[in-house]
A and B are shown apart, each in its own frame.
Chain A
Amino acid sequence: MRHVNASPLAVRVGLLLTTLLFGALFLASPALAQDESAAGTSDIVRAALVGIGYYLSNSPWLAGNGGFFGLYRPLVAGFFVGIIFGDPVKGAEIGAAINVLYLGFISAGGSIPADPSVAGWVGTALAMAGGLDAQAAIALGVAVGLLGTIIFFTRMSVDATFAHVADGAAERGDITGVARANWLYPQIFLFVISFIPAFAAVYFGSSAVSFGIDWLNSNAPWILRGFEIAGGLLPAIGIALNMRFIFRGTVWPWFFVGFIVSATTNGGINIFTLGVIGVALAALHVYFLGDRAEKAMQPRGA
């Protein structure tokens, strides 16, 4: 056989990298949590870990789905940033709040031209550095997320080059070369354009954000109240964007059932419990529709 069988190599490299990076993160986390004086090297390490996390969220190394459907989501990103900064509870809370805005996020086209991943990784890190609570952090996350689109557009444009590298390899009948043009070169480029901005934003932005918040607190505190109010209004956009897909057909009344159950218990119902009840109700809904299920939603493109 002329060609070295390189395909499993790509997978092996991915698994190795992932194990190494996550191993490093978990080994480093107790040390980071203990180091409350947070000066010098640990700031660099924290910013670097956030940068690596942001790169991984865009990379293929976590079985594809673990990236785009996993670390890319602010909920997951916030949790890991929380570990990096020594407070996973707070990190997950901030990440969860930021994530509500991106509930209706669909990659293709993009209803909000934003990068949820950078909002999750960098936004949570900056909010934790500035001591913001989760509701006020939403507005900060949105701002960071908008800037993140630059990275996405750069990547989408430059990566076309590697398609031509693959064309060249195809002409030579070089199967390994085609594979490499897909998995190796774009990743080197992606690491550079995602790690460096995220690292710099966290390393240099942390002190700027905490300075800014201190200043506002003593000079124009109403602006911080404005952030909090915005944190109560903006989630409506994320929820409404998701409603476009499901608040339709025959299933929309369940939205009101969910809202009212939650409101009358003042949020006391555990959402996981509600989800289990929801599975039962959804099954009944499908059974009672019977053959009419086809026209019950009329999804796009079907």
Chain B
Amino acid sequence: MRDQPHARHAIGDVILRAEGISLRFGGVQALTDISFEVREHEVLAIIGPNGAGKSSMLNVINGVYHPQQGTITFRDRSARRMSTHDAALAGIARTFQNIALFKGMTVLDNIMTGRTLRMRRGVLAQALYLGPARREELEHRAVVERIIDFLEIQAYRKTPVGRLPYGLQKRVDLGRALALEPSLLLLDEPMAGMNLEEKADMCRFVLDVNEQFGTTIVLIEHDMGVVMDISDRVIVLDYGRKIGDGPPDAIRANQAVIDAYLGVVH
């Protein structure tokens, strides 16, 4: 018998703090003075209409974009200009709205690419498959196999990703991000374009990641049902500004959010 519906790691201290983030592309103000916090082990959703700056916000967090103002502090390390490499090294992984996988490579190899950062041996040692490189490869393979088992994609291990249906590709994309063994996982619309069953599966995997590995999750999602169901906290963006921040129930009742996003009859 379960103690509670989602018994999990207790939500802890702040691990990521965004302060006064502003981002411009030429004359376009993508983000304006945005501040928020992410706490350890929580599931945080970022919602907002198209063009609100949700994906830009994720890109700022993992160093793809560098904001003109403001800082990101991740585990006591502040940076205005963090590189994607630094972000990954620090334990931030992400998936992409338009699946970023190597279509011609197998599921196994694609997830293995997620291990690249954790590989210690030099290119030469790996190419020659020397003893230590070989041992290392086996260790990485073991991690990848656990992910394959976790995501229940054993049947597609050797299938080229391009031949898989969309919902499964999304799952592999998640697997590739998990291969980094991240402490913070950024998911950019993990359920976009999925049918009901695929969505339910994906929800379960997201919650399982959070529950079993204690991974902190920041996700962008449009399906309000999903958002209200699985997140601990919701941040609402509109035209690059933050207009709401709080638990799902409070967001649902927030008039500014309702006007901007959840829908009113004009």
Q: Is B one of A's binding partners? A: no
